[in-house]
């Protein structure tokens, strides 16, 4: 790991991996609560009445419990990421005393509880564990931090939780070229498609986003569409120009939900059907917008590939706790913990915490 700027003198630094959170078992209550929290977050920006949310969550939880479903690996793998990152931060160049803890938007421990317990006066770096900035990703995190900043310091405060500048948010992975390079190398380390395939495609699987609401209007919140488009473009360019690439086609597909209106196209199923119709005989699907495995990647992606008529398919693993990814995160955390860190540069353009402060500001 390259030597970073020496971190600021704040004693032990707390690093929070802020992830989505999923149900770890097929239990009815756990799945209902996770779903209810998730849709509660969605209802902050999309018209989704409470009775509809309850009905959706009840049916989904019952289907999982009675249909022989399994729990998601998402939370366990996020805990592994936290353990690996803590070890890397303690052992690498510029090592700092730190603790790394996971926090989730929809499962325990809840992000808002972790935020409320942050120690006044100590430095905390919160990592948004999705590469795309949006109101429902890093946006929700920063709205939570902004609310606690007002509670702790009074109306009009621009500080962090309990003390100005003590909470720093790491986002904007979508524009980080080093992060793109980590993804590219990760794909080639696990690619196992047949060497004799003359029509081999890579499908970059993105989490879909709302394009039009139920009235046909463009959403009035930060959907992350621009960031997702730019990120996918950077990845496509990187794969297309890499001499290791066997791909004759590089496509982008989306995993969508069925609430709120019209979502991004094409879907993963649509892309696979089109590629099959065009004679592509081998496809690798990489969930490039997912930093850790979850129900979407081990469920939806795997199911779509299994149902595809394409002769040979491979579902590539997410980054999870791959050493190169953990090393990348450690470098970015150390840089953001430094006394000269450009705090605002790691926040998204729509950040409610503002985009105008340096570490010494």
pLDDT of residue 154: 35
User: Quick check: bond before 266 cis, omega within 30?
Assistant: yes
Asked if residue 244 and residue 98 are part of one domain, the reply reads: no
* CATH code for the domain in which residue 288 is found: 3.40.50.1400
**Planar angle of CA 298, 296, 125, nearest 5 degrees:** 105
Asked if residue 34 and residue 137 are part of one domain, the reply reads: yes
pLDDT of residue 4: 43
Question: Could you give the CA distance from residue 339 to residue 335 in angstroms, rounded to a whole number?
Answer: 9
Asked if residue 114 and residue 193 are part of one domain, the reply reads: no
- Place 343 in a pLDDT band, splitting at 50, 70 and 90: confident
Q: Would you say residue 8 lies in a domain? A: no
pLDDT tens-digit map of 169-184: 999 999 999 999 999 9
Q: Would you say residue 21 lies in a domain? A: yes
Q: Would you say residue 307 lies in a domain? A: yes
Q: Would you say residue 50 lies in a domain? A: yes
Q: Would you say residue 145 lies in a domain? A: yes
Structurally, the chain folds into a number of domains equal to 2
Asked if residue 231 and residue 161 are part of one domain, the reply reads: no
Mean pLDDT of 272-299: 96
Q: Would you say residue 223 lies in a domain? A: yes
Asked if residue 269 and residue 131 are part of one domain, the reply reads: no
The helix or strand, by DSSP H or E, that contains position 286, with its residue range, turns out to be strand 282-286
- Antiparallel, parallel or unpaired: β 200-207 and 249-255: parallel
Asked if residue 310 and residue 333 are part of one domain, the reply reads: no
- Place 102 in a pLDDT band, splitting at 50, 70 and 90: very high
Q: Would you say residue 358 lies in a domain? A: no
DSSP secondary structure letters along 90-107: HHSTT---EEEEEEESSS
Asked if residue 329 and residue 283 are part of one domain, the reply reads: no
> What is each CA distance from 216 to 44, 141, 213, 223, 267, in whole angstroms?
19, 28, 5, 15, 19
Contact 41, 112 (CB under 8 A): no
Asked if residue 163 and residue 209 are part of one domain, the reply reads: no
pLDDT of residue 165: 45
Q: Would you say residue 29 lies in a domain? A: yes
Which range (74-78, 127-131, 156-160, 308-312) has the least confidence?
Answer: 156-160
Mean pLDDT of 236-262: 93
Q: Note down the domain range covering 293.
A: 177-315
Question: Could you give the CA distance from residue 140 to residue 133 in angstroms, rounded to a whole number?
Answer: 10
Number of H helices, E strands in the chain: 11, 10
Burial 63-94 (b: 16+ CB within 10 A, else e): ebbeeebebbbbbebbbbbbebbbebbeebeb
User: Quick check: bond before 310 cis, omega within 30?
Assistant: no
pLDDT of residue 354: 65
Asked if residue 107 and residue 32 are part of one domain, the reply reads: yes
Contact 114, 16 (CB under 8 A): yes
Question: Could you give the CA distance from residue 342 to residue 359 in angstroms, rounded to a whole number?
Answer: 6
Asked if residue 212 and residue 283 are part of one domain, the reply reads: yes
Count the alpha carbons within 13 Å of 38 in the hemisphere toward its beta carbon. 17
pLDDT of residue 92: 67
Asked if residue 144 and residue 18 are part of one domain, the reply reads: yes
Asked if residue 293 and residue 151 are part of one domain, the reply reads: no
pLDDT tens-digit map of 143-160: 888 877 644 433 333 334
pLDDT of residue 232: 97
Percent pLDDT > 70 in the chain is 87
Which range (26-35, 53-62, 186-195) has the least confidence?
Answer: 186-195
What rounded mean pLDDT belongs to the chain? 87
pLDDT of residue 10: 52
> What is each CA distance from 319 to 267, 324, 325, in whole angstroms?
22, 9, 7
- Decide if pLDDT at 353 tops 80: no
Which range (125-129, 162-166, 225-229) has the least confidence?
Answer: 162-166
pLDDT of residue 7: 46
**Planar angle of CA 130, 316, 299, nearest 5 degrees:** 75
Residue 124, exposed/middle/buried by CB under 10 A (0-12, 13-18, 19+)? buried
Question: Could you give the CA distance from residue 269 to residue 308 in angstroms, rounded to a whole number?
Answer: 8
């Amino acid at each position: 790991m390259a030597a970073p700027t020496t971190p600021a003198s704040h004693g032990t630094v707390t690093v929070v991996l802020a992830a989505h959170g999923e149900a770890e078992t097929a239990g009815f209550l756990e799945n209902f609560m996770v779903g209810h929290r998730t849709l509660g977050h969605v209802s902050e920006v999309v018209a989704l009445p409470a009775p509809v949310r309850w009905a959706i969550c009840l049916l989904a939880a019952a289907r999982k419990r009675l249909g022989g479903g399994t729990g998601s690996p998402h939370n366990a793998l996020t805990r592994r990421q936290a353990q690996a990152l803590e070890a890397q931060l303690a052992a690498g160049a510029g090592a700092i005393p730190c603790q790394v803890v996971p926090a989730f938007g929809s499962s325990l421990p809840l992000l808002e509880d972790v935020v409320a317990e942050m120690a006044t006066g100590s430095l905390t770096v919160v990592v948004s564990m999705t590469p795309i900035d949006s109101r429902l990703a890093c946006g929700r995190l920063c709205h939570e931090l902004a609310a606690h900043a007002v509670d702790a310091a009074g109306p009009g405060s621009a500080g962090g939780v309990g003390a100005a500048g003590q909470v720093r948010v790491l986002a904007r992975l979508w524009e980080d070229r080093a992060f793109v390079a980590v993804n590219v190398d990760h794909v080639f380390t696990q690619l196992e498609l047949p060497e004799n395939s003359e029509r081999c495609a890579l499908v970059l699987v993105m989490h879909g986003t709302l394009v039009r609401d139920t009235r046909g209007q463009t959403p009035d919140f930060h959907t992350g569409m621009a960031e997702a488009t730019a990120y996918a473009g950077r990845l496509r360019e990187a794969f297309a120009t890499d001499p290791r690439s066997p791909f004759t086609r590089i496509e982008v597909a989306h995993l969508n939900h069925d609430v709120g209106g019209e979502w991004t196209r094409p879907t993963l199923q649509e892309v696979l059907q089109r590629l099959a119709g065009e004679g592509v005989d081998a496809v690798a699907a990489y969930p490039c917008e997912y930093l850790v495995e979850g129900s979407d990647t081990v469920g939806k992606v795997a199911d779509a590939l299994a149902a595809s008529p394409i002769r040979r398919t491979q579902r590539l693993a997410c980054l999870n706790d791959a050493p190169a990814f953990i090393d990348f995160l450690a470098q970015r955390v150390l840089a953001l913990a430094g006394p000269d860190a450009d705090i605002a540069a790691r926040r998204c353009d729509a950040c409610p915490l503002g985009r105008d402060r340096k570490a010494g500001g």
